[in-house]
Amino acid sequence: MKYIGVLVLGALAVTGGPAAFAQDKVGIEVCDTFLEKYQACVKDKAGDQRAQFEQMIGQLRTQWKQMAADAQTKPSLEEACKQTVESVKQSLNAAPYNCGF
């Protein structure tokens, strides 16, 4: 069960691109809040999987920033972020992570 978050986010993430820094905002509140909470959680609780999680967070941030910059995809971005949160919430709130989403 603890790998569900990895699998779901891996499937959603775009491959390639540099990892982004925490202060690099998407510009959509629900997206930025999720990324900040997710990054803070894995920093303390992911152990040897931390690098994988951080790479996925960077990829999500890059993908969402690209969507936010595109007038055609920006309107659907908030809903996409909400769906991502819902799809990984259960696995990230369970042991061993207990992220508190």
Query: Does the structure show a pLDDT above 70 at 27?
Result: yes
Rounded CA-CA distance 53/64 in Å is 16
- What letter does residue 13 receive in the DSSP assignment? S
The beta-strand segments (E) located in the chain are none
pLDDT of residue 96: 83
Q: Which residue type occupies 46? A: A
Rounded CA-CA distance 33/27 in Å is 10
Query: Does the structure show a pLDDT above 70 at 2?
Result: no
Residue 73 tokens read as 């995809």
pLDDT of residue 1: 39
- Least trusted range by pLDDT, from 11-20, 32-41, 61-70: 11-20
Nearest to 88 by CA among 61, 59, 53, 64: 53
